[in-house]
Amino acid sequence: MAKPGGVFCVEGQWHDDLEERGSVLPTLELLERLGALRYIHRDTATPQELRYFLERWLSKKYAAYEVGFFALHGAPTQLQLSDAHSVGLAEIASWVSGRCEGKRLYFGSCSSLRASDTTLAEFLRETRASMICGFTKNIDWIESAAFETVVLNRLVNSGRAHGLEQLMKSERWAPLARHLGFRVVYRNGVSWESATSRR
């Protein structure tokens, strides 16, 4: 039996309180136990740590981990690693320039894909990733956790260009995609977002 596809996840510091235990790890563990995926999960709090883990992910050793999952706070075109540190999509693109061929990137971050079509097209051109997806609105933790269980399963197990888009148009998932402002952009220029997710 073939191994399931892989997800490489970097997770930021959600809270100042070190006793807080909120994490995307239970979602990844659930999907792994169901045989839907394999994962690598790393915590990151600074741009230097994020860049280090991205460099490791893009090495030949981890080529089977084709989905990159950025579980961080966000703002338009920004990822917030902690209260003290953030990094822009353009900076990430410059770090991984040309090395994300075939990768699918999921930004599980509030509003990080609230950006112009030109900005996101440039990100994909620079990185060579096949697609990016994420949110254009501020999102609720529980709602997004339920949603990303389905999104991650589809990203890992459907290599078809529009598999995720078809799911988001379905009667079952379209209302939640719209509520969360979910957006998908492909390197070939095709993009999709729910009807009310525009700025």
CATH number for the domain spanning 119: value is 3.40.50.1460
Residues 99 and 92: their CA atoms lie apart, in Å, by 12
Q: Is residue 1 part of a domain?
A: no
pLDDT digits (tens, 9 = 90+) for 100-155: 999 999 999 999 999 999 999 999 999 999 999 999 999 888 888 889 899 999 89
pTM above 0.85, yes or no: yes
Residue with the larger pLDDT of the pair 41 and 84? 41
Residue 44 lies in a domain: yes
In a domain, 159, yes or no: yes
Read off the pLDDT of residues 57-97 as tens digits, 9 standing for 90 and up.
999 999 999 999 999 999 999 999 988 899 999 999 999 99
Parallel, antiparallel, or unpaired: how do β-strands 182-186 and 191-193 relate?
antiparallel
Whole domain around residue 126: which residue ranges? Answer: 6-193
Rounded Cα distance, 182 and 198, in Å? 10
- Tell me the average pLDDT across 162-175: 81
| Count of structural domains within the chain | 1
Query: How far is Cα 196 from Cα 199, in angstroms, rounded to an integer?
Result: 8
Q: Report yes or no on 146 lying in a domain.
A: yes
Q: Is residue 198 part of a domain?
A: no
What is the predicted pLDDT for the residue at 197?
45
